[in-house]
Amino acid sequence: MSDMIDAINLEIGERIKKIRNSKGWTQKQLAMKAGITIQSVLYVEKGKRGLSSHTMRSISSALEVTADYLLFGHSGSLSEIEIAAMMPAGLSEEELSNSVETMNKVAEILRRYKEVLRDAGVNPENDERSGDTEIELRSGEYA
């Protein structure tokens, strides 16, 4: 059992390192953005430590990927099949394709919004000021 857990931890660590590198971040930068220690990033990336739910959430949020992606390697984007299962029956292929495109655009807008909040010094995941910042963004103060 321990070998299987070690293999899973190594896979997760490799995914985290790959995404971090694709963003051009150092381990220190990821640690700062995720609010964890550099040692935690080092151990996780090397597969020497598993992730608590808090650390998983912090790292996935900082990297802007889903926890599902970190755990299983699945894309954070919804596929047309997943979207079709949520949509009313009878949509044409064009309508379904347009829905997928729109949902992906909304997801990108939300990712950018989270980045604006982080730049403004607000953690959108657990900061009580998130509602206030949303109002400030609407008024154009940070826009």
Q: For the segment 2-56, what is each residue's pLDDT rounded down to a tens digit? A: 787 888 889 999 999 998 998 899 999 999 999 999 999 999 999 988 888 889 9
Give the C-alpha separation, 48 to 42, whole Å.
9
CATH number at residue 48: 1.10.260.40
Residues 56, 99 share a domain: no
Residues 5, 68 share a domain: yes
Give the C-alpha separation, 21 to 25, whole Å.
6
Residues 97, 69 share a domain: no
Whole-model pTM: value is 0.53
Q: What is the model's pLDDT at position 143?
A: 35
Per residue in 61-114, pLDDT tens?
898 888 888 888 866 555 555 555 655 666 677 776 777 778 777 777 877 777
More confident residue, 137 or 51: 51
Residues 40, 97 share a domain: no
Residues 32, 68 share a domain: yes
Residues 69, 107 share a domain: no
Residues 1, 69 share a domain: yes
Residues 110, 64 share a domain: no
* Confidence tier at 140 by pLDDT (50, 70, 90): very low
CB–CB of 57/103 below 8 Å?
no
Residues 2, 63 share a domain: yes
Which domain covers residue 31, as residue numbers? 1-74
Residues 105, 56 share a domain: no
Give the C-alpha separation, 28 to 25, whole Å.
8
How is residue 48 annotated by DSSP? S
CB–CB of 45/13 below 8 Å?
yes
